[in-house]
Amino acid sequence: YILEDKILTFIVTANNSHPVVQQSSAEDLETFNSWMNQYLTTYQKDNESWRDNLASNLKHLSEILNINSIVDQINDIFDKQGTKCNRLILIPHHYLHLFPLHAISLANGDLLLERFERGINYAPSSQLLQLTQTQKRPDFNHLFAIQNPTEDLVFADLEVEILRSFFSPKTVLKKKDAQETEVKTHPELSFVHCIHFSCHGEFNVEYPLKSALCLAETEQSNSENTEDGLLTLAEIFALNLTQSHSREQRAMSG
């Protein structure tokens, strides 16, 4: 949790009545802000350099956030209970959700996600996490998926092909068929159970509601067409998604 003068980490486990809190120094926060600005600037203006330096940048982020100390505390908590933590749920605050925290390297050289046998999950907030854990969905079987609309994500096609095998019925808009107008006006949106976007995403720091999922460009010569291929957060909020649990795969966060 990012405050004005420090970063707080809350470690919450099922068998502890109170969270374990770890806090950073003001210098760590200043270093993080500097790191974040450089990371985002490089990502937006020099993508090749961003890729080349990703591993070293994530290692630096691990040091700033004291990830090894946090993992050690998790190990200590479960060691006292005679068990081992095999799953981690991250609830990133503020800009932290932009970074692939699961790919951070640990002191022993392993990636953070390799430490937990059942993997790492993300949640937008503790309240929504609790809701999803208690909500019963006996008929969770109808999928609506967007598959690689910009045709430049290497594993997006495989991702959707595997996912669709778990659902029936399923509707998949592939590549150029996943145009913004087609997605927003599709008649199935109001009653499908799961919506999955396998595509790029853009985050707008100054105007978060303008953050968007990148769909295929609408092929129309009509000059009055206002669709730009970006499905913004504001537009998503306006959709009728009463039956669905949307899942967005963002390139920005890996």
| pLDDT tens per residue across span 34-81 | 999 999 888 888 878 888 999 999 999 999 999 999 999 999 989 888
Which of 197, 201, 188 has its CA nearest to residue 242?
188
What is the pLDDT at residue 234? 92
CB atoms within 10 A of CB 188: 14
| pLDDT tens per residue across span 166-221 | 998 999 999 999 999 899 889 888 888 889 999 998 888 788 899 999 998 766 55
What is the pLDDT at residue 223? 46
What is the pLDDT at residue 115? 92
Domain boundaries, the chain: 8-132, 136-253
pTM for the structure as a whole: 0.75
Query: Percent helix, strand, coil in the chain (nearest 5)?
Result: 40, 20, 40
Percentage of the chain exceeding pLDDT 70: 91
Q: Which residues of 46-66 are buried (b: 16+ CB within 10 A; e: fewer)?
A: eeeebeeebeebbebbbebbb
Which of 74, 86, 82, 90 has its CA nearest to residue 117?
86
| pLDDT tens per residue across span 99-127 | 999 999 898 888 999 999 899 999 888 88
